[in-house]
Structure 1
């Protein structure tokens, strides 16, 4: 019979432990019931809340928070920052041909590659089914193409070995389409506008044949009408314009 734990401080321990076991957290430090043990449960749950369960990358919630923080930082400091959005090419065909378990193996393999391609300060997230994103703080425009091409080439280089339901081993070539945009410097913007700019480039990469990257030219990263509204809407310039 499994050990039963009471409700402690509003924390339903049985449900929490079950959730952590499913996520692979089976070795919690401290004696069961001790303060150290309870704190380790809380810490593990906090980490779980910002991680994608399949890949271990940041989940969409964590990504959106990181994106908002970075776009605000760029507005204050003027340091460049690059957002890359990635979509696995023809991923549906993998699921249809080899099953969802194979698709999961591909997603986990791509996640590992992405973590190998970035710096500790970068945020790598799984934001949708086969969609990933990378936030790269302090990334000068001259480095953007190099980073994007490194990611694209690294994913293409190593096919993912999967075993089909019949037992046969297959090595699946994986490619990715990438879109990227730099956050507008010294301009108050939003994470949504930044994401939309990167998405435009992602759609362009797909339209041009996939397995490539497209970055928004820095010269095109102009202030949009919405950003102008945020910049001047409550400023003294607006007051001047409103005077008769």
Structure 2
């Protein structure tokens, strides 16, 4: 194949990248160390923008959009491999009181401290995200069902040990409520149904007094009507 004539090649210097580069600079992202507007440089800018768009600005954790994509990949993997995966949803207890008492800057400090604690207590293979204001979630692949309660309790305890200095001499102690559910093995499901299961346990933890971890009992981890419908739909397509 003959190369395109020079006149047919797009002049990359015509790209309007000023706003994108300013955004990356403000976020502290490292720009590629190569010739500006070269293919390598442009790829580096694109990669940096993709990483920035998938991260929460306050904590650096994955944001909700990228976390939902990770959940979809994991629930599909569990359906194919049968390996267990645990989803934990977490909520900072009485967070509104922290904002009302100490101010929103202190609230941000608390969110950042909790995020750092979550990153420290999980494995490199686990995915941690901030999915709402004071809400977090964790995907733990290859987490045996026998260890689910232990893992959830370890996360809860790590946050309860925090001593967050929000101003000179003013220390805040926070707790979290945790809900957890395992993705159904060998069954086609969805990230939405998985999240709903974990959220139900989170609501139970709050209703029982907060500062506790509640996991879906294995005996109750049955295939839902929605999941049966998805399974039968796939089976019917394979037959046809």
User: After TM superposition, is the score higher than 0.5?
Assistant: yes
Instruction: Give the deviation of 1:203 after TM superposition.
Output: 0.2
SS in 2 for 1:53: coil
Alignment-derived partner of residue 95 in structure 1: 99
Matching residue within 16, 19, 41 for 2:45: 41
Change (3 A) 1:98 1:146: same
Alignment-derived partner of residue 224 in structure 2: 224
Once residues 101 and 216 of structure 2 are traced to their aligned partners in structure 1, the CA distance between those partners, rounded to angstroms, is 35
Once residues 56 and 86 of structure 2 are traced to their aligned partners in structure 1, the CA distance between those partners, rounded to angstroms, is 22
1:12 to 2:16 alignment: yes
1:57 to 2:61 alignment: yes
Once residues 214 and 10 of structure 1 are traced to their aligned partners in structure 2, the CA distance between those partners, rounded to angstroms, is 55
Change (3 A) 1:179 1:38: same
Once residues 131 and 226 of structure 2 are traced to their aligned partners in structure 1, the CA distance between those partners, rounded to angstroms, is 25
1:30 to 2:33 alignment: yes
Contact 2:85 2:183 in 1 (8 A): yes
Matching residue within 118, 121, 125 for 1:117: 121
Instruction: Give the deviation of 1:8 after TM superposition.
Output: 4.1
When structure 1 is superposed on structure 2, of 182-191 and 34-43 the one drifting more is 34-43
Instruction: Give the deviation of 1:12 after TM superposition.
Output: 2.9
Alignment-derived partner of residue 6 in structure 2: none
1:144 to 2:167 alignment: no
Contact 2:89 2:137 in 1 (8 A): yes
Alignment-derived partner of residue 174 in structure 2: 174
Once residues 33 and 154 of structure 1 are traced to their aligned partners in structure 2, the CA distance between those partners, rounded to angstroms, is 45
Once residues 75 and 9 of structure 1 are traced to their aligned partners in structure 2, the CA distance between those partners, rounded to angstroms, is 47
Instruction: Give the deviation of 1:39 after TM superposition.
Output: 3.4
Q: Report Cα offsets for 1:70-122 as digits up to 9, x if no partner.
A: 11111111000000000000111111111111111111111111011111111
Change (3 A) 1:229 1:105: same
Change (3 A) 1:208 1:83: same
TM-score, with structure 2 as normaliser: 0.89
Once residues 190 and 234 of structure 2 are traced to their aligned partners in structure 1, the CA distance between those partners, rounded to angstroms, is 16
Once residues 120 and 217 of structure 2 are traced to their aligned partners in structure 1, the CA distance between those partners, rounded to angstroms, is 26
SS in 1 for 2:97: helix
Number of corresponding residues: 227
Once residues 72 and 183 of structure 2 are traced to their aligned partners in structure 1, the CA distance between those partners, rounded to angstroms, is 11
SS in 1 for 2:88: strand
Contact 2:13 2:37 in 1 (8 A): no
Once residues 37 and 226 of structure 2 are traced to their aligned partners in structure 1, the CA distance between those partners, rounded to angstroms, is 53
TM-score, with structure 1 as normaliser: 0.87
The RMSD of aligned alpha carbons is 2.0
Change (3 A) 1:162 1:140: same
Alignment-derived partner of residue 83 in structure 2: 79
